[in-house]
């Protein structure tokens, strides 16, 4: 039973993630079509609501209740026939299965997009955003090691080699159930594309389109053409380019931006103002990240992540190369 929103208050299109893989860019570009409208806020997190407390704090803070979600859908539908919900929490490992089921129940004909990206580059970008917002450790290798420890607890692994071996078959890291001492795994696990994409594939089958960020950057016309065909829309030229990609992950909070976030003003602005305007203001109020903090390359943690992504994103990598000609970094399962 779908009780988190009324039956007629659902989106037509969901861009479910993955974080830092181009969801903002795709949502903004698609909404340039006259028949498509992007909800405000862009990420209402309605269908992941209440499934697990491990959802990032910003998602919990920005989530819309049923009444507000319905109002946002209605407002968006006045601007376009097809409405987009672009919430990256819908691919969070702790809630992905429950979220996909809720979306299917709400709208069996829903069109779902998943944006993917070279998993190592996605990880680095995600950490930069979290670090800028004060949610992650200063050094990337330390944050990755914390995630690896939590993942080892989830699957009962004793060391890195054992972890890589167990992850080839274990799915104990998926879902809200976890040992009480397990921490967050979402920074690294959101790049385990194969099992995560499979969750949505089981629910939506051919109503699922997986797109690599690299292709959206390099051949926007090709990707949008496929998207419009998938949605049953006549192609239209839309304005946009590299500026549509969210680059705020490279910046750190200042006293002003932190005050706006902690007082709730930033969250209110995200609800009421266009996403592009909020992004520009956020960029102006933040500062560049310090150099030397991304120390993953050449570290033991980096080597483990290459092996894990070789095990858990290999099929998606092969699919993106086959369908879009996109090649990611070396992924050698060992």
CA distance 154 to 38: 37
* Best CA proximity match to 40, nearest among 17, 18, 62, 19: 62
Could you give the 3-state DSSP secondary structure of residue 123? helix
Name 303's Cβ contacts closer than 8 Å, sequence gap at least 6. Answer: none
The terminus-to-terminus CA distance of the chain in angstroms comes to 43
Regions of the chain where pLDDT drops below 50: 1-7, 242, 247-249, 291-292, 332-334
pLDDT at 60: 55
pLDDT at 3: 46
pTM value > 0.85: no
pLDDT at 333: 43
Q: What is the Cβ-side half-sphere exposure of residue 333, based on CA atoms within 13 angstroms? A: 10
| The two three-digit tokens of residue 227, written as one number | 């998207």
pLDDT at 304: 98
pLDDT at 192: 98
Q: Please say whether the beta carbons of 91 and 18 come within 8 A.
A: yes
pLDDT at 228: 97
The owner of tokens 């001492």 is 181
Residues in the chain: 334
| The two three-digit tokens of residue 269, written as one number | 């602005």
Q: In this structure, what DSSP letter does residue 24 have?
A: H
pLDDT at 1: 35
- For each of the domains in the chain, give its residue range(s) and CATH number, in order of start: 13-324 (3.40.50.300)
Tens-place pLDDT, residues 43-91:
898 998 878 655 555 555 567 888 889 999 999 999 999 999 999 999 9
């Amino acid at each position: 039973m779908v009780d988190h929103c009324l039956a007629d208050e659902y989106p037509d299109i969901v861009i479910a993630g993955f974080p830092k893989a181009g969801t903002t860019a795709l949502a903004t570009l698609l909404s340039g079509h006259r028949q498509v409208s992007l909800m405000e806020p862009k990420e209402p997190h309605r269908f992941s609501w209440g499934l697990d407390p491990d959802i990032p704090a910003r998602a919990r803070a920005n989530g819309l209740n049923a009444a507000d979600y319905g109002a946002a859908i209605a407002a968006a539908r006045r601007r376009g026939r097809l409405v987009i919900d672009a919430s990256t929490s819908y691919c969070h490992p702790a809630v992905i299965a429950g979220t996909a089921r809720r979306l299917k129940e709400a709208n069996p004909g829903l069109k779902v997009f998943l944006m993917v990206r070279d998993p190592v580059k996605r990880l680095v970008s995600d950490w930069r955003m979290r670090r800028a917002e004060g949610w992650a450790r200063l050094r990337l290798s330390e944050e990755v090691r914390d995630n690896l420890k939590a993942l080892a607890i989830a699957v009962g692994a004793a060391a890195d080699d054992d972890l890589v071996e167990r992850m080839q078959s274990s799915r104990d890291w998926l879902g809200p159930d976890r040992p009480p001492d397990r921490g967050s795994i979402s920074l690294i696990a959101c790049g385990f594309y194969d099992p995560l994409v499979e969750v949505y594939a089981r629910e939506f089958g051919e109503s699922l389109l997986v797109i690599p960020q690299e292709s959206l950057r390099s051949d926007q016309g090709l990707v949008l053409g496929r998207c419009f065909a998938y949605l049953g829309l006549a192609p239209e030229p839309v304005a946009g380019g590299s500026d549509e990609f969210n680059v705020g992950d490279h910046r750190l909070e200042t006293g002003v931006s932190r005050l706006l976030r902690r007082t709730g003003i930033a969250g209110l602005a995200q609800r009421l103002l266009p996403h592009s305007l909020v992004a520009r203001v956020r960029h102006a109020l933040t500062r560049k990240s310090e150099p030397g903090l991304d120390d993953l390359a050449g570290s033991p943690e980096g080597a483990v992540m290459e092996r894990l992504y070789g095990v858990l994103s290999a099929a998606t990598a092969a699919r993106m190369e086959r369908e879009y000609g996109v090649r990611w970094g070396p992924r050698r399962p060992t």
